[in-house]
């Protein structure tokens, strides 16, 4: 029975292979060697294949005796809309407590590292021996996965059924992407003999295997399948298959690789490219492979890529030109080595930019504990881009731009290359791993996993494909291979360890079969739904955008916020409570660093805060409102009373504070405006005490706390002034008296020069005056170029280190430097040297760029030399005609209702201006001294020039016959003007005469 | 303080906000400097000599202009305007000397140094070509040709109603100062309690037309028939009032005739070396009567 079932599969696959070779407009012809499967073969084969994975997965994962896994039994089959639409097969099968490599293995609210939750996975106890219905559907879409559905769980298999239509007949070709695992004899036997499997379907199906059972076959060689009775031949199967066959106490059924079998049908070589396996025909060469081979030849290589590839070299006999083998799992050491093959060209500048932004911002900048998390969210992307390019986009725009760049790279570089994802295991010209951008996109896909109308929350590969835009194949994005994917992660992990001595967070060892999806999910402990709540946390906690929050402080904040506001989703809380806590905190810390200070509520209203800014003018303190301007806020904010213009990136320009603003400052205020149907709110919450900390501006800005060891300022109401002064004196160790400044609002006090140097717990109500000991690097002064950390070499910044302990190293470019008592880092001229400098204070590292000024691209327009200069003429009020020396040089000037004259500009040298009307008299003004003699009309002038010459001659002649009055701009030429005019009159006569003659 | 660094920074940035400019000036100014005065002086220096455009398109931003070798009214003289970097400056000096031109660096207290070049026209053009910038021999005329006359602007502006709850002051031509309240046909400044004020011209129907400050004052002068500009034909000098200076684009044209900012004599701003044609154009475009030349005066007297 096993043989019968297997024969059915083989027949189907072989028939499909035959069809593939003739795909296209040509008619499908039967081959004498091809067994035409009947429609009834479809359920046989599909069900057999469907059962294989579950059985094998079960065996692999649990090593459960077969006795515990009864065979599925088909109970019904249906084809509600005929062959062309859908065919469904119902079978009964025991549910098994096993882990499938399916999207449902990992549910939205559950870590991939966790076992299936009881509501999503059948327990072993209840499953064994308990029969449930499984529905196997062949869906009517171009590429859909077969799905196994039970009342509890839907499991997408790795089988891809693709319907293809033949123009010549009613046949419909389904392509089943067969997993690599072999068929269990007993399962197939039982399936094939199960009642009802062969009779229900109304029309014949033709099944085609899109991939062979052989992962690695030479396309130029015919391969054959020899069954024990020798009746059927088929391309050779893998060693695994052979081994499996042996394990079933059968003789090896399949011929050895590369051994052609006589009487083979169409020469079909089936290439396994991981999960995407494409049929390759020796008679119809694959154009892409030809191109690749051509590329390799162009590059001077005999065998492109694969000879140098470590995996290729390990199994060279199983590879052939243009083929892509199913990759075996690489060892970490092997994977951490760069890809040795040939990769033509370099990634696009856009991808390189994003790649750099990801590496510098996400990989090198932030770590939690000993592990680095590649946390990627739209907000982080916007922050990363701003860091490297100085361009500030909204998170949505940044995300779109990032996705487009990675998608383009994937389609243009990864997909066409035979080694697919492997080519990302290398460093680019900038020394950064090329895979960072791609892996960041994979993390972003994981971040976007949430329950949607048409997608389960756990559908990772679908979301990845949505971002890559490359189409699905075999349940995964086209060109995607799990083992390759894992190898790329390992490469990045190795690079980070080698170059920076840091460990990339990787899934735990007990991740199970879903180990590939676990790779990006490890870096997404909080999903989108929780991340979107973070601005509320930050706002509630008084965090500053871009602030680096100590993990302890953030941990306490989250606990308080959870109590106060309800916190995250259940899944988020679980992640925060278990061993993923470090990852969660790292992710949140990164988010706050990239937060732009805005909140968006459910109605779409956007809110940002108004800070208080203290600076000095003529040695007097001046207080101003400093509203934030996150991306998307209008350039001009106008609520009728407050008109704010955009200032430095991320801010509106400061508004001077009025002495009458005391009550608004104490009770809080909000300014509201609307632009493009979006409601914008700038607000400041009620406060009795405002702490101001050193900032990148020229003075301190309101902050969630004072900064330990750095001078700041405090504003407080009269009601709490005594307590505030007492507390400040205790933490600063010196007298803190409010200053009498004219601009301080009524009812408020301003205390400047507050430098906390002692640790004292603030009294109740004055918590904002706590001195945070965050390690920070604050740039001050210099000529900064945008918002990124870049300064002009002739005006570098002064760097201030806050919260630094004596034992902590302060380094610039890995060289130790001193910090004075005011926290100023003594850079000793290092920051005047152009280039990128890395400043490290404790565990904090910041990249700082010193630039030599350059002209922006396209500013120089030296190539536009020779443009004709313009001349301007001002004349008395009236209608004037301006004349040049050439007959076609004529312009007009008129005056308007207002003004005291007429103006004209012309691209020629004006000589005369004439004014006359229909009656007597005319005015002629000489505009140039000396007068240029008139130029004769050229014999072969274009029509347009002739028309203008006629106009010119009419103006001269018309003025002349009216006995004009002459004026000149200079007294010396005034009397000579009529004489010079005669020459123009003569020229005009000549022109008129010539034009008349020409007309005749 | 060398303000060349400021120009280098602005050149590299390309554009920026007014607040950013002010911060940069504060960074570079000494502690004892009167920053407010310095900011204004620097702004007008950079604007008048064609380095930077301020408040472009009604915004509160600045934008650096392309580097250009500008021919001046005294023939055979040019200055390098627009954005520049140390590299461009070095190239300019080297090319000038190599091509036999006289190169001068004129240091100025409240602005970047003026790079002046003297030599024959082909030499000037060759220098421009070598350093990759445009050479415009009659730049003042070309700039003037781009000016939209104030009377045209005024006619095109739409009438607006006064902002509510904003305080208002008007420019009084008798005292040449601002006075509280709204005066008919005057330039008036409406100020919100917070934020930037707006300038308008009050029209006969009690409505307002929005214009920048200096232009509003000149339009008001046009409406009231007040003379703010005059031309000294003997010295080729255009004279304006210190408390009613020329609008920025007009001042730039006048300054780029000589390559120098106006000198102050009493309450007069004197723009030297302004050719009569350009002076007449600026006067008429600004809504002022065209200055009479000596010849016109003779003719008028004869008539």
Q: Per-residue pLDDT tens for B248-287?
A: 999 999 999 999 999 999 889 999 999 988 999 999 999 9
What is the C-alpha to C-alpha distance for residues A459 and A488, in angstroms, rounded to an integer? 21
DSSP secondary structure letter of residue A314: H
Query: Interface pTM (ipTM) of the complex?
Result: 0.85
Neighbours of A878 (CB within 10 A): 15
DSSP secondary structure letter of residue A510: G
Share of chain B above pLDDT 70, in %: 96
What is the C-alpha to C-alpha distance for residues A981 and A720, in angstroms, rounded to an integer? 89
Task: Say if A360 is an interface residue toward chain B (CB within 8 Å).
Answer: no
A432 and A443 Cβ atoms separated by less than 8 Å: no
Share of chain B above pLDDT 90, in %: 63
Residue A722: its H or E element: helix A721-732
Q: Closest partner residue to B141 among A697, A862, A872, by Cβ?
A: A872
Q: Which residues of A touch B296 (CB under 8 A)?
A: 967, 969
Name A135's bridge partners: A90, A149
B215 and B244 Cβ atoms separated by less than 8 Å: no
Q: In the predicted model, what is the mean pLDDT of residues A238-257?
A: 34
What the block records as the tokens of B179 is 């006075």
Judged against a pLDDT cut of 90, whether residue A217 lies above it is answered with no
Q: In the predicted model, what is the mean pLDDT of residues A939-953?
A: 83
Q: Closest partner residue to B138 among A655, A869, A897, by Cβ?
A: A869
Mutate to test the interface with A, among B32, B42, B62, B149 (most CBs of A within 10 A): B149
Residue where the block lists tokens 């730049």: B139
**Distance of alpha carbon A158 from the chain centroid:** 28
* Winning range, highest mean pLDDT, from A318-332, A931-945, B101-115: B101-115
Residue B284 to residue A899, Cβ atoms within 8 A:
yes
Q: What number of H helices and E strands is found in chain A?
A: 25, 43
Residue where the block lists tokens 């000098």: B237
Judged against a pLDDT cut of 80, whether residue A423 lies above it is answered with yes
Task: Say if A451 is an interface residue toward chain B (CB within 8 Å).
Answer: no
Beta-strand ranges (E) seen in A408-486 are 472-473, 476-477
Task: Say if B291 is an interface residue toward chain A (CB within 8 Å).
Answer: no
B 16-75 near A (Cβ less than 8 A): 17-20, 23-24, 26-28, 34-36, 59-60, 64, 66-67
pLDDT at A279: 38
Nearest Cα residue in chain A from B297: A971
pLDDT at A864: 66
Instruction: State chain A's mean pLDDT as an integer.
Output: 69
Nearest Cα residue in chain A from B86: A853
* Winning range, highest mean pLDDT, from A226-240, A464-478, A549-563, A802-816: A464-478
B 68-107 near A (Cβ less than 8 A): 82-88
Q: In the predicted model, what is the mean pLDDT of residues A513-523?
A: 84
Residue where the block lists tokens 């003999």: A193
What is the C-alpha to C-alpha distance for residues A210 and A271, in angstroms, rounded to an integer? 9
Assign A4 a pLDDT band (cuts: 50, 70, 90): low
A638 and A644 Cβ atoms separated by less than 8 Å: yes
pLDDT at B237: 93
What the block records as the tokens of A993 is 């005469």
CA dist A700 → A710, A754, B152 (Å)? 10, 11, 47
Q: Closest partner residue to A903 among B64, B285, B289, by Cβ?
A: B285
pLDDT at A285: 39
Q: Which residues of A touch B136 (CB under 8 A)?
A: 867, 869
What the block records as the tokens of A16 is 């499909």
Q: Is the pTM of this model over 0.90?
A: no
pLDDT digits (tens, 9 = 90+) for B3-41: 999 999 999 988 888 888 988 998 888 777 788 889 999
Share of chain A above pLDDT 90, in %: 15
Residue B284 to residue A869, Cβ atoms within 8 A:
no
Pick from A266-275, A354-363, A425-434, A447-456: least confident: A266-275
A653 and A646 Cβ atoms separated by less than 8 Å: yes
A453-456 contact pairs (CB < 8 A, 24+) = A456/A103, A456/A104, A456/A108, A456/A154
Q: In the predicted model, what is the mean pLDDT of residues A547-566?
A: 80
Q: Closest partner residue to B152 among A896, A901, A905, by Cβ?
A: A896
Residue of higher predicted confidence among A722 and B295? A722
Q: In the predicted model, what is the mean pLDDT of residues B70-95?
A: 92
**What one-character-per-residue DSSP string does A498-514 give?**
HHH--EE----GGGTT-
Assign A129 a pLDDT band (cuts: 50, 70, 90): very low
B29, with CB counted inside 10 A (0-12, 13-18, 19+), is middle
pLDDT digits (tens, 9 = 90+) for B147-178: 999 988 998 889 998 888 899 999 999 999 99
A799 and A817 Cβ atoms separated by less than 8 Å: no
Nearest Cα residue in chain B from A909: B141
Judged against a pLDDT cut of 50, whether residue A428 lies above it is answered with yes
pLDDT at A467: 92
CA dist A656 → A587, A642, B58, B194, B200 (Å)? 37, 11, 21, 7, 23
Mutate to test the interface with B, among A900, A923, A927, A928 (most CBs of B within 10 A): A900
A 648-707 near B (Cβ less than 8 A): 648, 653-656, 658, 697-698
Residue B129 to residue A782, Cβ atoms within 8 A:
no
Residue of higher predicted confidence among A617 and A45? A617
What is the C-alpha to C-alpha distance for residues A708 and A729, in angstroms, rounded to an integer? 14
B 249-268 near A (Cβ less than 8 A): none
Number of residues in chain B:
303
Calculate how close chain A gets to B141, using CA atoms only, in Å. 5
pLDDT at A529: 82
Number of residues in chain A:
1000
SS3 call for A462: helix
Neighbours of A780 (CB within 10 A): 16
Task: Say if A625 is an interface residue toward chain B (CB within 8 Å).
Answer: yes
Report the candidate in A161, A165, A187 with the shortest Cα–Cα distance to residue A175.
A161
Task: Say if B128 is an interface residue toward chain A (CB within 8 Å).
Answer: yes
Report the candidate in A870, A830, A877 with the shortest Cα–Cα distance to residue A849.
A830
Q: Which residues of B touch A850 (CB under 8 A)?
A: none
């Amino acid at each position: 029975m096993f043989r019968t079932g297997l024969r059915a599969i083989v027949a189907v696959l072989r028939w499909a292979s035959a069809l593939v070779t003739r795909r296209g407009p040509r008619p499908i012809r039967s081959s004498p060697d091809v067994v035409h499967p009947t429609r009834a073969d479809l359920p046989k084969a599909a069900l057999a294949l469907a059962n294989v994975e579950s059985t094998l997965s079960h065996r692999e994962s649990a090593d459960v005796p077969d006795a515990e896994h009864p065979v599925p039994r088909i109970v019904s089959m249906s084809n509600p809309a005929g062959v062309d639409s859908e065919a469904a097969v119902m079978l009964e099968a025991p549910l098994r407590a096993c882990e499938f490599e399916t999207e449902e293995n990992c549910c939205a609210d559950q870590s991939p590292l966790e076992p299936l939750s009881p509501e999503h996975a059948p327990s072993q106890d209840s499953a064994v021996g308990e029969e449930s219905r499984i529905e196997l559907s062949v869906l009517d879409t171009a590429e859909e996965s077969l799905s196994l559905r039970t009342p509890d769980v839907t499991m997408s298999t790795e089988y891809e059924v693709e319907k293809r239509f033949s123009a010549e007949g009613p046949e419909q070709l389904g392509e089943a992407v067969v997993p690599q695992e072999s068929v269990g004899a007993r399962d197939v036997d039982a399936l094939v003999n199960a009642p009802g499997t062969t009779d229900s379907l109304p029309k014949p199906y033709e099944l085609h295997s899109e991939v062979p059972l052989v992962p690695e076959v030479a396309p130029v060689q015919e391969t054959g399948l020899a069954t024990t009775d020798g009746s059927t031949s088929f391309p050779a199967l893998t060693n695994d298959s052979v081994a499996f066959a042996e394990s079933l106490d059968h003789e090896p059924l399949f011929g050895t690789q590369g051994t052609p079998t006589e009487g083979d049908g169409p020469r079909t070589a089936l290439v396994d490219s991981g999960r995407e396996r494409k049929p390759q025909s020796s008679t119809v060469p694959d154009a892409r492979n030809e191109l690749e081979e051509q590329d390799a030849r162009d590059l001077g290589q005999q065998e492109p890529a694969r000879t140098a590839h470590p995996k290729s070299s390990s199994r060279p006999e199983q590879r052939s030109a243009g083929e892509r083998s199913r990759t075996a799992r690489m060892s970490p050491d092997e994977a951490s080595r760069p890809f040795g093959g040939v990769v033509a060209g370099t990634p696009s500048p856009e991808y390189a930019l994003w790649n750099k932004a990801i590496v510098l911002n996400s990989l090198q900048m932030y770590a939690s504990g000993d592990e680095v998390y590649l946390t990627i969210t739209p907000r982080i992307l916007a922050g990363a881009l701003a860091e490297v390019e100085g361009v500030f986009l909204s998170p949505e725009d940044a995300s779109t731009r990032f996705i487009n760049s990675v998608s383009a790279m994937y389609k243009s570089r990864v997909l066409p290359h035979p080694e697919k994802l492997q080519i990302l295991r290398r460093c680019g010209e900038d020394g950064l791993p090329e895979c960072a951008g791609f892996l960041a996109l994979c993390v972003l896909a994981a971040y976007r996993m949430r329950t949607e109308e048409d997608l389960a929350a756990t559908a990772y590969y679908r979301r990845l494909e949505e971002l890559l835009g490359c189409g699905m194949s075999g349940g995964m994005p086209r060109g995607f291979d799990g083992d390759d994917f894992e190898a790329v992660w390992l490469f990045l992990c190795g690079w980070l360890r080698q170059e920076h001595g840091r460990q990339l967070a990787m899934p735990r060892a007990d991740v199970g079969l879903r180990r590939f999806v676990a790779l990006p999910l490890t870096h997404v402990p909080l999903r989108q739904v929780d991340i979107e709540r973070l601005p509320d946390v930050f706002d509630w906690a008084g965090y500053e955008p871009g602030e680096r929050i100590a993990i302890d402080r953030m941990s306490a904040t989250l606990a308080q916020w959870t109590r106060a506001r309800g916190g995250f989703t259940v899944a988020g809380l679980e992640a925060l409570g278990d061993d993923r806590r470090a990852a969660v905190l790292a992710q949140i810390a990164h988010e706050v660093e990239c937060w732009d200070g805005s909140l968006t509520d459910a109605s779409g209203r956007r809110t940002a805060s108004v800070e208080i800014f203290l600076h000095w003018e003529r040695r007097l303190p001046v207080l101003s409102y400093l509203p934030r301007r996150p991306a998307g806020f209008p350039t001009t904010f106008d609520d009728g009373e407050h008109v704010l213009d955009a200032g430095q990136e991320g801010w509106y320009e400061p508004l001077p504070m009025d002495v009458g603003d005391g009550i608004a400052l104490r009770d809080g205020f909000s300014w509201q405006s609307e632009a493009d149907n979006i409601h914008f709110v700038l607000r400041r919450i009620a406060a009795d005490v405002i702490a101001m900390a050193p900032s990148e501006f020229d003075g301190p800005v309101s902050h969630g706390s004072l900064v330990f060891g750095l001078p700041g300022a405090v504003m407080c109401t009269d009601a709490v002034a005594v307590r505030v002064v007492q507390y400040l004196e205790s933490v600063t160790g010196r007298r803190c008296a409010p200053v009498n400044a004219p601009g301080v609002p009524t009812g408020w006090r301003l205390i400047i020069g507050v430098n906390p140097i002692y640790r004292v717990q603030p009294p109740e109500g004055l918590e904002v005056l706590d001195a945070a000991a965050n390690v920070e690097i604050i740039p001050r002064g210099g000529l900064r170029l945008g918002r990124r950390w870049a300064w002009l070499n002739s005006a570098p910044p002064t760097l201030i280190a806050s919260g630094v302990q004596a034992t902590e190293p302060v380094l610039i470019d890995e060289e130790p430097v001193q910090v004075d008592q005011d926290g100023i880092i003594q850079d000793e001229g290092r920051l005047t040297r152009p280039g990128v400098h890395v400043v490290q204070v404790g565990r904090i590292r910041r990249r700082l760029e010193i630039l030599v000024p350059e002209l922006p691209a396209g500013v120089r327009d030296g190539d536009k030399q020779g443009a004709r200069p313009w001349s301007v003429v001002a004349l008395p009020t009236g209608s004037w005609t301006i004349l040049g020396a050439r007959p076609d040089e004529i312009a007009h000037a008129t005056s308007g209702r207002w003004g005291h004259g007429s103006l004209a500009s012309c691209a020629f040298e004006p000589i005369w201006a004439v004014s006359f009307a229909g009656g007597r008299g005319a005015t002629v003004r000489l505009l140039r001294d000396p007068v240029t003699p008139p130029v004769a009309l050229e014999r072969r002038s274009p029509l347009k020039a002739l028309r203008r010459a006629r106009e010119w001659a009419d103006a001269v002649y018309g003025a002349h016959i009216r006995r004009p009055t002459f004026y000149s701009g200079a007294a010396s030429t005034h009397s000579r003007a009529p004489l010079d005019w005669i020459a123009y009159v003569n020229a005009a006569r000549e022109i008129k005469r010539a034009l008349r003659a020409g007309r005749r | 303080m060398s303000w060349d660094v400021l120009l280098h920074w602005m050149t590299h940035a390309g554009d920026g906000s007014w607040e950013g400019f002010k911060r940069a000036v504060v960074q570079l100014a000494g502690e004892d400097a009167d920053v407010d005065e310095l900011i204004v002086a620097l702004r007008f220096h950079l604007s008048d000599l064609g380095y930077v455009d301020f408040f472009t398109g009604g915004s509160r931003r600045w934008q650096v202009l392309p580097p250009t070798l500008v021919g001046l009214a005294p023939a055979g003289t040019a200055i390098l305007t627009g954005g520049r970097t140390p590299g461009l400056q070095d190239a300019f000096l080297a090319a000038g000397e190599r091509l036999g031109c006289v190169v001068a660096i004129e240091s100025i207290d409240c602005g970047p140094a003026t790079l002046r070049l003297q030599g024959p026209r082909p030499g000037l053009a060759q220098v421009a070509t070598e350093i990759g910038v445009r050479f415009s021999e009659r730049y003042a005329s070309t700039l003037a040709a781009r000016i939209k006359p104030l009377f045209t602007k005024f006619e095109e502006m739409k009438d607006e109603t006064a902002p509510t709850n904003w305080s208002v002051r008007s420019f009084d031509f008798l005292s040449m100062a601002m006075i509280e309240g709204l005066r008919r046909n005057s330039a008036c400044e409406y100020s919100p309690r917070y934020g930037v004020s707006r300038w308008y011209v009050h029209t006969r129907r009690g409505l307002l037309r929005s214009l920048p400050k200096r232009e509003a004052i000149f339009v008001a002068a046009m409406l009231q028939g007040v003379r703010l500009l005059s031309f000294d034909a003997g010295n080729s000098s255009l004279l304006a009032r210190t408390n009613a200076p020329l609008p920025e684009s007009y001042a730039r044209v006048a300054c780029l005739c000589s390559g120098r900012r106006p000198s102050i004599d009493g309450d007069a701003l004197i723009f030297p070396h302004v050719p009569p044609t350009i002076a007449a154009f600026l006067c008429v475009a600004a809504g002022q009567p065209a200055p009479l030349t000596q010849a016109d005066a003779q003719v008028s007297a004869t008539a």
